[in-house]
Each structure stands twice: as C-alpha cells, then as structure tokens.
Structure 1
Amino acid sequence: MNDSDHQTQMLHGFNHMQYMSTFFTSGTYYDIELIIIGDKRYKTHKSILHAASPLFRTKLNQNIRELVMNCEGIRDESIAKAFEFIYKGTVELRLEQVANILKLADMWQMDGLKKYCYSYLEIVCQDNRQVYQKNEEIDDYLLDNFLRITKHEKFLNMSADNVKRLLSSDDLQVSSEGQVFEGLSHWVKHDWTNRKNDLYSLMKCVRYPLCSISFLLEEVASLCCESVEGYQLLLDALKWHEIPQKRSTLSLMNSKSRKKNKQVLIIGRKNIGMSVGIKAYNLRTKSWTVYHKMDIRSTDFSTAMFKNNVFVFGGWNFVDRSHNRVYSFDLLTGALKNLAPMKVKRSLSTAVVVNGRIFVIGGYNQENILDTVEEYDYVKNSWIKVASMKRKRHCHASVVYKEDIYVFGGENEDEYLNSVEVFNTKKNQWKILRPMKWKRSSFAAVVVEDYIYCIGGNDSPIDNVERYDPESDTWTVAGNSLVKDFNQVAICHDRKIICFAGYWNTTVQEYDPANDQWKIISQMPNNRNHYTAHVVDLCL
C-alpha cells in the first residue's frame, strides 16, 4: 500500500466515524436498548456495539431488542463518555474522570478506550522519579501488628519519614498489599491539609503489582485525583498488569513480596471421607493456621500451583477408587472449579509446572502402575499425552530444574526403585540418569540452588539424605535427617530445606546445606499421609 492509498483509507474511516456520530446525536436507526441496572436506558445500534467489544459480540444476537448490563460503581458521565468514544473514536477527558472510565472500559472489554485513556495519562503524567527506599530499622511491634495500629494514635501521629520507612519495609506483616495502601490512606486523610504533599512519596512504597486491577481502579485511583504524580504510579501499575513486555521499563514498580507473607500451604487430609483441608505455616513465626477447606473428598492426589490457583489432579476415594477428576482452587476468591478430566485415571502421581506448562506424571489406576505423562493446557482446558517415562512408577518424587523434569524412585509392583530419569520438555524426550544410592518410595525431593536433595522415605522407613548434581550426574551423601519417616514433603526457603513430617510423626525440620546440619524447628498439628506443599505469597 502506497502513501496515497493509506491516506485514502484513513480518510474513508474518518468519514465513516463522522457519519456514525450523527446516528448517536440524532437518534437515527436505533435497534437495541442497553439497560443499565438502576433504570438507566441507552438507545444504540447492534452493529456499533458488536464492533466495539468482544463482550458485546458474545451477548448480541439478531433477535435481541434489549441488553441488560450491571455497571455497579460506574458513573453516568463515564457511560456517556464510553458511548461517545464508541461512535466517534475520540472523547474529551478530565483527570478526575479517567479512573472511572478505565474501570468501565475494563468491564466492557473495550481495549481501544483503555489505550485512549492510557495515552491521555501518559501526556498528563511526566514525573518519573525513583522509588524512595530506606533500610533503617523499624520497631518490630509496628511491623508485626500493622493492621492493629493503623487507626491508633501511635501510627496516626508518626512523622512522614517514619511512615515511609514502615511502608517500605520488606518485613511488614500484612495479608494483602491493599492493606498497606489503606493504612497509607488513613494516615494521610487524618491531617489532609498538612500531609497531602507527602502523598506521592508514600504511594511509591506500595507494591502495586501485588494489587488486583479492580483494587487499582476502585481504591488507588480515588486517592490519585489530588496528585498527577500519583496517576503516573497508577498508570504504570496498570501497564504492569496489562502489558507484561513493558515491565522492564517500569522503574517505579516494586513487585517483590514482603518476607513475612511467605507461607507454606499444606494440602491434604488426615482421614479419608473428610474434605481436603489447607493449612498455612508461617515461615517466620513457625505458627499454623487453618487456611481453607475444599469440597473434595479424595486422597492420594497430586497438586500444582499456577496463576494463584491450586490445581488438584486425580486421587483415590471409596466410590471411584482411582479417578481422573481435576479441580482448581482460586486462592484469591476461594472458588473451586471442575476442569477437564485427565485422559487416564491416576492416584499417587506427581505434578509440576514448567514455564506455564503443567505436567502430571505416572501414578496408579487400581489396575496398573503407570509410565504415562499428560500435559494440561490451561488456556484451552484440555489434555494432551506426551512421551512416557522409561519406568512405570508411583509414590515417586518429581522436581523442576532448568526447564527439565527430574523424576526419582517410587514403586513398581512390589519393588522400591532407585532409578532416576529426566524429561526434556522442549524435545519431549526422557533419559535415564545415574540411580540413587538408596531405593526410595513416598519421600521428599527439593531443589536448593544447583542441587537436588532426596530425603527419607520407604524402605523401612529411612532417614538417609542424598544430594544430586544435575550438571555432573553424580550423587553424594548428606547428613541424615533427625527422624525416620516416609510421606514427607519439603520446600526451599532462604537457601535452606524445610522438611515436614509424614506418616509416623509431626516434626518440622530445617536443613542448612552450608553446614550440613539438621535441626527441629516446629511441630505439625497432626501427622499426614500423601499430602502436598507449596510456598505461596499470601499477599496475592
């Protein structure tokens, strides 16, 4: 296309937009009414709505004459601005309107209007100063009891510098980053006249990538109206969520989770017939809380963490025995969903995530021990079969190291295994590696830096620990754990191993590879059989 053709095409499109805007202003040829809950009605055109958004394309059909939409929290002026944009391709904006219009654009899936608002904010917002960071010590009581003190005099009378240090601290104890912003808001509004000039420097202490888009548009935006610089933060936060490829350029965005929010979710149940429970272990306080219950009556399942969801694969129950059902549990909303079942029934399998790809490996289906592997497509909610392992196995351990899946031990018929194999996820190929020194089943395996540790398990049970070097394909013996057990699970935290007890006891141990020493750090509420564990940031 030459320049003349391009200009003709652009002029043609512009003339069409101008002509359509006359339909909007004159009320000509209306063929549908958009009804907003709350008795607001807007006459419009199906074809125009159809072109404006994929949401409308899914809701409109040839015979429909009225379309009801829930626009709770959206102001009338924002709806009017959205219609003006739909028909004209442009709209006049004011700074105090943008957040509400963005919220509506997100609700109606109008990407064009969202980009238009972002462009407007880009022009308005020029300040791009760096995040203020200061590493001075803050009273531990304030860090540990932030939610309690945010409405008390001790907090409300703090200086701006001390509030800034508190909000910036990695050790601040909160369950969501939104609570940090709410504390900030409460402090500023307590003496708005004298503190509004501190708003921007304090807003930079909040870790907006850990906030949801709805929170940004509903809560953060409401405090941005007094600060053009604050809108820059809001804009960058929205970019972080909506345009991942821009993240490296967003110097104001701190996406690092606060240390005290790291917890271990223990997923499983003690007795068959009970709902699957989730308990949370605080890695700093070494305390336990009941996090949630899932309405799943199954055991011997495998789990994976992906996109703030716990995925539960297969398992065993009294009715179906081994089954192929799959669930997802949303840690943000508590919603439990049924997903597409696996191709094969399997219990006592393992599940791992590699670059967004979820694999379920091996297991047992009441008739056969399995060597098969399936991959779950999260977007399509479907399963595909990938290359099978070299050995059939269940009660094995699987870990991910540098995009490859390493599988250790397990059982095959009446035999405990010490065999090891690795799956190249890019080539869809399995390869046999050097075997472990001990045969193991129902044991813990965990990656710490460039090594993989295998801990305890059946054969008797055992307390032996060995370390695998993937680069040299060699094994070395590490210090024995302090208890003999099987069905343990282990996680890596601060370059150390936290190993949770299994069938025989309730001990929580910590292993420091630097000095090859184990120590007991806590106790579990009860012993468990075939459960899973994931480190999560409860500031989701």
Structure 2
Amino acid sequence: MSALNTVSFQVNKDNEIFGLNASQWKVIIAKVDANKVTQEDLFSAIVRWYKYNAGVRQQNLPDVIGSLRLDEFETEFIEKQIKPLPGCERLAIEAIKKRGDSISWLAVQNFGEDWLGVKDILRFNQAKEIWEKATRLEIKRYGFDTAFIENCFVFIGGRSINGPSKDVVSYNLLTKEWTTLSSMQEHRSSVCVVVLNKYIYAISGKNKRGDALTSVERFDWSTGRWQYVANMPRFAEAATVLNGDIYAFGDIDVARYNSATNRWEQRRSMLDRRYSPAVTAHEGFIYVIGGRHSDHRTAERYNPQRNEWTRIASLNVSRRYICAASIGGQLWAFGGVIDPAKWTDDVELYDAAADKWLIKKNLPVTGKFSCHAVPTKFVEKLY
C-alpha cells in the first residue's frame, strides 16, 4: 500500500487510510515526517478511519490513539475530542497529567505596528503546529527584550516616548500582577537579554545619545539588584545561551562569556556580516538567521565543539528582526520586517535532513518577537 510505503500520504484526504490496520497505523505514526504531518492531522485521520468501521475497530482505537504524542494537544482538545472516544478516557487523563508537567512556548511581541501600546503574547499549539493568540499586555515601549524567570515575564529596556529606557517591570503569569523592579544602571534600547543560572543579563543596547554600548549588567532575582559584569569586546546585535555559556553576536564577530571567570573571549567570526539577525541554540548548535547586510535570507550554523561555521539553506522570505526558536526538537523562524519597514507574519520551519526551509501557517499578527519556554500550567491560564 502506497500510504504505508511512502509514509507521506495526505492523511486528511487519502482514502487509502480506510484499508489500514492498527499495526500499520502505529508504523505510520512512528515514521511520518513530523515537518509535513502534524499530530492533529494524524488524529483527524485516525478518527475518520475508526468511524469508517467503528464496530470492528473500537477495540484497537485506544492502541492507535495512544501512539500519538497526546500531551502536545491542548487540554481543552484532550477533554472534548480525545477523552470521549471509546476506551480513551485513561489515555486522556494521563495526557492531561503529563501536560501539567510539560513545557509550552510563548512568543512576546516587542516590536510591531503598535509601537507604544498593546503587545500580543502568542502561544504555540504543538499538535497543530501553529501560533495562536494567548493574551495582550499594555507595554508603552518597543524594542525591549524579555526574560522568563520565577513565573514572570520581565520586560527590560527598550524605547518609550522619552527615548531609550532603563526601566524593568515584571508580569507574573500565575497571579497576573505587575511589579516594578530596580532599573538598570544604563538606558538600553535594542538590548539583548538572556537568562543564565537564575541571573538576567542585559547585554549591549544603545543609550540616550545613540551610542552602541559594550557594557553588560546582571540582575540578581534574589536581591533585586543590577551589577556590572565584564564588558563585551564589541556591540552585540543578538545573544543566546549554550552549554552554560553566553554567546553574543555583533556584525561578524562572536564572543563567549564564562560566568565563572567573568571573562569574554573571541570565537571564530561568522561567515557573513549581520545586522539584527535571529539567534538561537538548537540541538547542540547555534543558528544565526537573516540580518545579513546584503541578503536577509541567509543562515549559518555554529559548532561550538569545533569552533566553526557552516552555511545552511536560506529562508524563503528575506527579512531581519526575525525570531528563531527551538521548539520540541524543531527549528522555527518567524516574524520580522521586510525592508524598508514592512512587518511580516511569515513562519518557516527548518528541515535539517533536506536542508531547506518549509513555509508554515502565518502568525496571527506581525512583528518582532522573543520566544520563551514556559510551564504549560501557566500558559493555559492566559486564555
């Protein structure tokens, strides 16, 4: 059967699914290309297959449904769509329990069409592989960066109507309360923010005079204080954390920060000069995407063990101010701006095996985002 042999059939359209047995379904679920077929696609096809001959297939339905990654489905979906299926109540209860201890992903809009007003918070629906609106927060700044720590989103720096800001506020996802935290020692717009060992690092940015900063300061959540750490070698456009170290990227240069020694060291330069690229750690590598001065589609990958860079496939849509995120073992790139100043809602997924970017369903809003892994139990309280 071609559906079983290719493991890439259109599960919602191909009538060949009606001839499958339970064992064949389990093979397909295990081998199907996750970049092309979502868990919800598979679920819908399984339900169609079951209803085609419910009397015979009812006894096998829980075994087939149980082969899916059920904890990736939204709790409401599990309750309404999976739990009522014959023999699937226990599977649903276990999936909901597992989901309570799992991680979900939120994307915080920090730049978009409403510069000084409301910002959207998006959540990633893993089963559907789409971004959906979770909530909106009024943040009268733009160009800030965010951190997630101790149940809170922390909004750092950026630019208000008065220019670059050093303000820091937090929003508790559990209590939905705002708290004003100690201000940074310097005003920083376009600041790069990372979290390492329960410290928040504010890296570079531009001050009120428009100077590109090489200074770095660190926020201690337990004391509520900021303090300077070692300066960077140069201005940073983006930063991420990998293997307990901070990596910062500016123009073509790369620097690595060791928090134990409080020292930065130069690493091998990128292959291309980049302005406002997306940067994220994924599967032991660092990916730098877009933001090249001459072509905002290009991307490259850094191997920290070999201290070397490799080009990967270019994006389909040229843009900068993109957000890159490692989500459930997949590398995503979304949002950003198309020159000269058109915000985009494009979403792309990297297929490493084929070395190409796949176009996925667009965001519900345009803009620049930062992405954070957050306990699912908090995420589901937002909507």
Normalising by structure 2, report the TM-score. Answer: 0.73
- Whole-angstrom distance in 2 between the partners of 1:420 and 1:275: 34
The one-letter code of the counterpart of 1:342 is M
* Higher normalized contact order (CA 8 Å, seq sep 6+, divided by chain length): 2
Matched, 1:532 2:370: yes
Q: How many residue pairs get matched?
A: 306
- Whole-angstrom distance in 2 between the partners of 1:310 and 1:362: 20
Q: What's 1:387 paired with?
A: 230
Cα 1:137–1:365 change in 2 (3 A) is same
Matched, 1:334 2:260: no
Q: Contact 1:316 / 1:322 at 8 angstroms: preserved in 2?
A: yes
Could you report, residue by residue, the CA deviation over 1:23-76 in whole angstroms, capped at 9, with x for unpaired residues?
xxxxxxxxxxxxxxxxxxxxxxxxxxxxxxxxxxxxxxxxxxxxxxxxxxxxxx
Q: What's 1:272 paired with?
A: 115
Matched, 1:296 2:142: no
Q: Contact 2:299 / 2:311 at 8 angstroms: preserved in 1?
A: yes
CA shift at 1:147, angstroms?
A: 4.2
The one-letter code of the counterpart of 2:372 is H
1:440 to 274, 289, 296: 274
- Whole-angstrom distance in 1 between the partners of 2:358 and 2:234: 35
Q: What's 1:370 paired with?
A: 213
Q: Contact 1:387 / 1:429 at 8 angstroms: preserved in 2?
A: yes
The one-letter code of the counterpart of 1:465 is A
Q: Contact 1:311 / 1:327 at 8 angstroms: preserved in 2?
A: yes
Could you report, residue by residue, the CA deviation over 1:399-432 in whole angstroms, capped at 9, with x for unpaired residues?
10111000112xxxxxxx1011110011100001
Could you report, residue by residue, the CA deviation over 1:146-178 in whole angstroms, capped at 9, with x for unpaired residues?
6478699x84x966xx43222223xxxxxxxxx
In structure 2, stretches of 5+ residues that fail to align are 1-61, 339-343, 379-383
- Whole-angstrom distance in 1 between the partners of 2:239 and 2:160: 23
- Whole-angstrom distance in 2 between the partners of 1:363 and 1:514: 36
Q: What's 1:137 paired with?
A: 64
Q: What's 2:198 paired with?
A: 356
SS state at 1:487 partner:
coil
Q: Contact 2:106 / 2:121 at 8 angstroms: preserved in 1?
A: no
Could you report, residue by residue, the CA deviation over 1:190-245 in whole angstroms, capped at 9, with x for unpaired residues?
xxxxxxxxxxxxxxxx359x4xxxxxxxxxxxxxxxxxxxxxxxxxxxxxxxxxxx
Cα 1:485–1:146 change in 2 (3 A) is closer
**What does residue range 209-228 of structure 1 map to in structure 2 within 5 Å?**
210=100
Matched, 1:307 2:150: yes
Q: Contact 1:508 / 1:522 at 8 angstroms: preserved in 2?
A: yes
Matched, 1:522 2:361: yes
CA shift at 1:355, angstroms?
A: 1.8
Amino-acid identity (%): 27
Matched, 1:400 2:241: yes
- Whole-angstrom distance in 2 between the partners of 1:352 and 1:149: 34
2:332 to 498, 502, 505: 498
Q: Contact 2:132 / 2:363 at 8 angstroms: preserved in 1?
A: no
- Whole-angstrom distance in 1 between the partners of 2:115 and 2:225: 29
SS state at 1:324 partner:
coil
Which segment drifts farther, 281-290 or 513-522? 281-290
Q: Contact 2:130 / 2:363 at 8 angstroms: preserved in 1?
A: no
1:427 to 261, 284, 290: 261
SS state at 2:377 partner:
coil
SS state at 2:205 partner:
strand
The one-letter code of the counterpart of 1:374 is E
Could you report, residue by residue, the CA deviation over 1:446-489 in whole angstroms, capped at 9, with x for unpaired residues?
11122111111141442111111111111111111111110001
1:165 to 73, 80, 91: 91
- Whole-angstrom distance in 2 between the partners of 1:290 and 1:536: 15
CA shift at 1:294, angstroms?
A: 2.4
Q: Contact 1:362 / 1:372 at 8 angstroms: preserved in 2?
A: yes
Normalising by structure 1, report the TM-score. Answer: 0.53
CA shift at 1:528, angstroms?
A: 1.4
- Whole-angstrom distance in 1 between the partners of 2:220 and 2:80: 46
Cα 1:436–1:299 change in 2 (3 A) is same
CA shift at 1:271, angstroms?
A: 2.0
- Whole-angstrom distance in 2 between the partners of 1:148 and 1:401: 34
Question: If each structure's helix is expressed as a fraction of its own residues, which one has the higher value?
Answer: 1
CA shift at 1:373, angstroms?
A: 0.5
The one-letter code of the counterpart of 1:404 is D
Highest CA radius of gyration, 1 or 2? 1
Question: If each structure's strand is expressed as a fraction of its own residues, which one has the higher value?
Answer: 2
Matched, 1:508 2:347: yes
In structure 1, stretches of 5+ residues that fail to align are 1-134, 170-179, 181-205, 211-254, 410-416
- Whole-angstrom distance in 2 between the partners of 1:262 and 1:519: 22
